[in-house]
Structure 1
Amino acid sequence: MVRILQVFNRYVHMGGEEKSVDRIYQHLGEEHQVARCFFESRDWARASALAIPGQLIKTFYNHGSRKKFEEMIKTFRPEVALFHNAFPVGSPSLYHAAARHRVPVIHYVHNFRPFSVGGTLYSNGQFLEEALGGDYRREVQTGAWQGSRLKSAVMARVLRRLHASGWLDNVRAWVCISEFLRDKLAIGTGVESDRLFALRHSWDAMKNPPPPDDRGYYLFLGRLVDVKGVEVLLEAWRHLRARLGAATPALHIGGEGPLADRVKAEAARYPDIRYLGLVTGEAKHAAISGCRAMVAPSVWWEPLGLVTYEAYDYGKPMLAARSGGLSETVIAGLTGFLHEPGDAAGLAGDVLILESMSLSERYHMGAEGRVWLLSECSPARWKASFGEVLAHTVAR
């Protein structure tokens, strides 16, 4: 049993990363002693405009966050610190404190932080891969972090100072959630290969999934932002409408974000599109249970894409972009189909293929996805793989 201190700076809006952090906490707690040291971006989001200059300074080094972290080190005496996201409230002070107290760090890499200002290497339709090597100029120019050039410039300076500090030498293992992500870091960042690991997220699959059901609609669930391919999705349905007319299958879109009004306008104009708003709980269960397939047309390098896991858990085929980690979880022709990122016509073509299949063929495709999920993403398999990373970290 190892004492592990989990460190995470929550985002303003809860997303897949936070759910994964909770899942990791639960699974590690079954075999190890785990404590949590969390920070809240919401605290800063609620602050007055007068507090913003102070927040920017604390983004460089937050002494309050360091104090909180050090108190946890003194009381819990961790053997390992498991970092997820440390920005902006946690700040580089956490890396400094861990190094100073000789607590080795395992860094779970859910996106491209701390090697990217915005965390996505994507902004305004551009891939900004040079950021992996420390060139943040285009990320700043495009306002990659929170749409602000000023905030992006501050974060760029924060990351430059962090990488120059030597504090990241204390990170014994970088755990990437896909092979794609690991390979990108290996090529672009200079991190030694023996500190890089690929470990997909686990999934607590339903023991008794609902019986097969296909009510004919396709389902998108996610943040309504450009990187998720919302415009590609809407354009694909324009292609289908031109081809099929009144026989165009329905598209249900669930989620919130800056493109919500865009989706609402399209839904008001075309009867085959339905906007669901934020979908949770029983409503989400019903939406996934009844769909024909789920859709993930991401245009950025999706690190993994847990929406695929959700689709497979319900026995649903997946239509996804050949983007980042999505290409590792969708087996074209067996569990779903892959189109090139940004290719709306390609996505529409995949929908037409699925429409041409029989009900039993679509059910079989969804069933194959569930077989993959149970085999590749079981908690037992994840715990065994993470145990190897943990042994590597403690032994160094």
Structure 2
Amino acid sequence: MKALMCHLYYKYPGGEDVVYEDECWLLQEYGHEVVRYEAQNSQIDTMGKIDLARKSFWNPETYRDIRELIQRESPDVVHCANTFPLFSPSLYQAAKDEGVPTVQTLHNFRLACVGGTLLRNGEVCHKCLGKAMPLSGIIHRCYQGSLTASTVSALMHSYHRRRGTWSRLIDQYILLTPHSKEIFTAAGLPPERMTVKPNFVRPDPGFHDSRSKKNYAVFVGRLSKEKGLDVLMDAWSELSEFPDLELLIVGEGPLRGLVESAAQRDPRIRLAGQLPRDQTMQCIGAAKFLVFPSVWYETFGRTIIEAQACGTPVIASNMGAMATLIQHDQTGLLFEPGNAMQLAERCRNLLADEQLQKRLSVEGRAHYEREFSAETNLLQLLNVYNKAGVNLADPSESNVGVSSEKLPS
């Protein structure tokens, strides 16, 4: 099988970029061919507003490129990760015109929310969910705090909703959790075209015994408001009784200044910035625990399963994807979203109880092994492609190292 994989890389590297790379690797590792169509969203910085708005609605260059690429490479499926804003929905039309099935992974809530996060002023917001015209998203400037950008995002979504782009041109959607499927069903996407398939971790980082952990907690992610960094900083200020416990912040983003200011006030906080993937995994594996304080739903929460793979306990917000990935007091600890005092209390409880640390470490690792291995994920991905219209029923089309008995029918 040959897959045409399409992705716009983010200005600040994040989980979506990693998942895209992982799925390309997964297919190639098991004997399938991958063709890539890629660009950088940093190009936006050099574009005028009118040109950007035009390409967000319909990018003729993308339409031409995809048709030419399909004609030259003859892929069996087109699989899209991030397409907003530069690729535009013209990509889907190009694939449809060439008769190739299209799969779209929904890594954010862009098709349900102007801002893509279902979050406004630090609180979950559903005002635009399912609306033909998301006026609230325009009024509140939900995309990048810009009236112009929010208007373009809203109009693009509304236009393609009326045109039937989301229901007619995409054969299968990949949702990362059951919670995301509920949200997008409420937003009006066809549930019969949705399949829940989680992300996975590769390479397997291996289990880090609790006795090998160092005296620090770690946050890994984009430094942005929806990630709950202000909640984390407030919680850490409540933990003054642990003068030697460091908080390591790994990532980049618009709230870098907030973290730098907190680090100046509290020497226990250290900003590492963006690190290579192997170094990031080393930081997670050696940490006493990982904190995931997001105040938005998240569509998955990749660093949670990375920590579980390492045997590193996780403390996360009790909402959205986090609540589906963690069973409280078994595979991790949950706290009320936005509640810095309760987050601090969860940290205290974990630090005071070595048996709890060991249990969360072992159960988290077992959860990873059951649900998030590469082999399991490959079978799920091929099942999505089958649903989209790719014929993979012949075992000769299958994968090196995976039994044909496990292939999706």
2: CA distance between counterparts of 1:121 and 1:43?
26
1:381 to 371, 376, 382: 376
Residue 233 of structure 1: CA displacement?
0.5
Residue 17 of structure 1 aligns with which residue? 16
Residue 6 of structure 1: CA displacement?
1.4
Equivalences for 1:13-92 in 2 at 5 Å?
13-29=12-28, 30-45=30-45, 47=46, 51-92=48-89
2: CA distance between counterparts of 1:204 and 1:249?
29
1: CA distance between counterparts of 2:205 and 2:244?
34
User: Could you tell me which amino acid in structure 2 is paired with residue 200 of structure 1?
Assistant: P
SS in 2 for 1:274: strand
Equivalences for 1:338-349 in 2 at 5 Å?
338-349=334-345
| 1:392 aligns to 2:398 (yes or no) | no
Residue 226 of structure 1 aligns with which residue? 225
Residue 3 of structure 1 aligns with which residue? 2
Residue 319 of structure 2 aligns with which residue? 323
**Greater shift after overlay, 2-11 or 318-327?**
2-11
Q: Is the 8 A contact 1:182 1:196 kept in 2?
A: yes
Deviations, residues 335-358 of structure 1 (Å, cap 9, x unaligned): 220011111111111111102102
1: CA distance between counterparts of 2:357 and 2:306?
16
SS in 2 for 1:120: coil
2: CA distance between counterparts of 1:164 and 1:252?
46
Residue 117 of structure 1: CA displacement?
2.1
1: CA distance between counterparts of 2:22 and 2:276?
17
SS in 2 for 1:17: helix
Residue 275 of structure 1 aligns with which residue? 271
User: Could you tell me which amino acid in structure 2 is paired with residue 139 of structure 1?
Assistant: G
User: Could you tell me which amino acid in structure 2 is paired with residue 384 of structure 1?
Assistant: L
Change (3 A) 1:43 1:271: closer
Change (3 A) 1:190 1:208: closer
Residue 52 of structure 1: CA displacement?
3.1
1: CA distance between counterparts of 2:359 and 2:313?
9
1:146 to 141, 144, 147: 144
User: Could you tell me which amino acid in structure 2 is paired with residue 266 of structure 1?
Assistant: A
Residue 209 of structure 1: CA displacement?
4.4
SS in 2 for 1:133: coil
Q: Is the 8 A contact 2:172 2:384 kept in 1?
A: yes
2: CA distance between counterparts of 1:115 and 1:5?
26
Q: Is the 8 A contact 2:7 2:38 kept in 1?
A: yes
Residue 283 of structure 1: CA displacement?
4.4
Q: Is the 8 A contact 2:7 2:37 kept in 1?
A: yes
Deviations, residues 10-58 of structure 1 (Å, cap 9, x unaligned): 222221101101111111222433211223212232x16xx33222222
**Greater shift after overlay, 188-197 or 18-27?**
188-197
**Greater shift after overlay, 175-184 or 250-259?**
250-259
2:347 to 326, 351, 359: 351
Q: Is the 8 A contact 2:77 2:390 kept in 1?
A: no
2: CA distance between counterparts of 1:367 and 1:266?
33
Deviations, residues 261-285 of structure 1 (Å, cap 9, x unaligned): 1111121112332222333356434
2: CA distance between counterparts of 1:86 and 1:287?
31
Change (3 A) 1:283 1:386: closer
| 1:164 aligns to 2:191 (yes or no) | no
Change (3 A) 1:258 1:63: same
User: Could you tell me which amino acid in structure 2 is paired with residue 101 of structure 1?
Assistant: E
Residue 190 of structure 1 aligns with which residue? 188
SS in 1 for 2:171: strand
Count, aligned residues: 387
1:103 to 94, 100, 104: 100
| 1:115 aligns to 2:117 (yes or no) | no
Equivalences for 1:244-255 in 2 at 5 Å?
244=241, 247=243, 249-255=245-251
2: CA distance between counterparts of 1:170 and 1:62?
16
Residue 205 of structure 1: CA displacement?
4.4
Residue 94 of structure 1 aligns with which residue? 91
1: CA distance between counterparts of 2:326 and 2:79?
29
Q: Pairwise CA RMSD of aligned residues?
A: 2.1
Deviations, residues 195-244 of structure 1 (Å, cap 9, x unaligned): 11111112224364455422222111111111000011011123333xx3
Equivalences for 1:251-266 in 2 at 5 Å?
251-266=247-262
2: CA distance between counterparts of 1:319 and 1:88?
34
**Greater shift after overlay, 335-344 or 138-147?**
138-147
2: CA distance between counterparts of 1:132 and 1:174?
18
2: CA distance between counterparts of 1:72 and 1:194?
29
Q: Is the 8 A contact 2:201 2:305 kept in 1?
A: yes
| 1:371 aligns to 2:372 (yes or no) | no
SS in 2 for 1:130: coil
Q: Is the 8 A contact 1:221 1:254 kept in 2?
A: yes
TM-score, normalised relative to structure 2: 0.88
Between the two structures, name the one with larger relative contact order (CA 8 Å, sep ≥ 6). 2
